[in-house]
Amino acid sequence: MTGGQRKIALVVCLTTMLLAVLDQNIVSAVTVPIVRDLDPAHGIDRVPWLISAFALASTAALPLYGKLCDTLGARKVFLSAVAAFLVGSALCGAAQSMEQLIAFRALQGIGGGGLMSVTMVVIAQLKAAAPAEEGDAKGGKGGSGIGGLVAGAGMALGPVLGGVLADHADWRWVFYVNLPVGLAVLVAAAAVLKLPRHHGTRHRIDFLGAGLAAAFSTAVLLVTEWGGKEYAWGSPVVLGLIAASVLLLGLFLWRQATAAEPVLPLSLFRIPVLRISFALQALIGTALMGSMIYVIIYLQLVRGIAATNASLFLLPMAAGISVIGIVTGRLTARGWPQKTFVVTGTAVSAAAMGILATLSADTGLWVVGAALLLLGLGFGQLLGQLIQLTQESAPPRQLGVATTGIRFFQSLGGALGASLFGTVLARVYEAKGPGGSASRIAALSGEAHAQAIRAFVSSVDTVFACAAGAMLLALLLALRLRVPRP
């Protein structure tokens, strides 16, 4: 590829990543219009499935995407993932019932899971094929610093865009807006993207291993989604899912130890940098998901701020991610050790979570904005560095499975964090509130309303304290990183 083709391809990759992250976070802002249009009687009960269908499908497909990249080549897998995402988006926009929308959202998630992870593999191969001086100028191997910047900004801006579309357009445009951007990505990628082709030995794809990974991740996410909400933790359904998760994990590990070409080689866990990076990414996903969800809920329920305006409070976080992403990318290109940013990023993020854990019903809104800015400055140092460390530490022929592996742990961590934090919030509120669900706060009045607000603030503070604890644990792991010098 020429230098111009590589630049176009990099823009295509970054656009694809932004599209994937925006779509993953944008739907939460239009759930009410969707329910009002498709199923006003029972749609609210199906909203959790609408949100989780994408996460379930994308997480389950991640291990297979990595092996397909290493076997068939990243270009083919990238184009296929974008195409699947576009088909799913078109079907979601045309859905006529909640059941159809949930099914089409899962199809969209299969493509969406590949959009982020496979794009990271494509960027790494683009940088590896570039002249040495050009690769250094862009911030080192993998280009993950820029990728992390785009991903973090998309996480923060997704709810904002969703709120705007919900207020000024039909909810179906949340899905239709993907089509022109995605088609442009497909055309540009097909025209300029030229990556190494795989010749010689015919590789086997471990479909059984991929199926076991998908079944395990689905069972775990169902436990966290249903436990304590749809079913009691001690119910036969939840206990059965826990038992199935343990069994499936054992079968998956056995398959990876015995398969000729596993989808997630256990040899990767023998590399200390990869082992710690996988754990770090899971903890980061847990804390990040909790912070974004419950800041918005606090602003709406406690402070009475409308949904669209509440989502604007995530803009300081996006600004922090953008600024620190640029700074860390340039410093890394100048030789600053990556471990430095992993350590400082986890420390700053833990401090921001600690500030959020002190919120009260009358805390100045500028404090919330400042805490989110600090959170962005912390997470912005982490989003790209760990993926870049993973790509640099993985064997070249296992670049795909290593990259999708770290994304797999981040997705699982985010899903587990959102569900577990929700359980914590519900339990604390039940213990301190006036009775009933937190959803009834707006209908209360007088002293009951004041007591409910105090109980809910205490519940949210507990959630942020748990997130701060997760980041402190991540800090301890970051200090144990031993990154070999190039």
- Under 8 Å between Cβ of 262 and 206: yes
| Contact in structure between 117 and 77 (CB atoms under 8 Å) | no
Q: What is the DSSP string of 338-375?
A: HHHHHHHHHHHHHHHHHHHTT--TT--HHHHHHHHHHH
Please list the pLDDT of the chain residue by residue as tens digits (486 residues): 777 888 888 888 888 888 877 776 677 666 667 777 887 665 555 665 676 677 777 777 777 787 788 777 888 889 999 999 999 999 998 988 888 888 898 889 888 888 877 887 888 788 776 665 554 444 444 444 565 566 666 766 776 777 677 667 778 888 888 899 899 999 998 888 887 665 545 567 777 887 887 788 778 877 876 777 678 888 999 899 999 999 999 998 999 888 877 877 888 888 888 889 899 988 988 887 766 777 877 887 788 877 667 777 878 887 888 788 778 878 877 878 888 889 999 999 999 999 999 998 888 889 999 999 999 899 888 877 787 888 888 887 777 778 778 877 887 787 677 767 877 887 888 888 777 666 677 677 888 888 888 888 898 899 999 999 999 999 999 998 886 655
* CA–CA dist 23, 51 (Å, integer): 11
364: nearest Cα among 306, 303, 425, 296: 303
Q: How many residues does the chain have?
A: 486
Token look-up 């990728």 returns 147
CA distance 212 to 54: 19
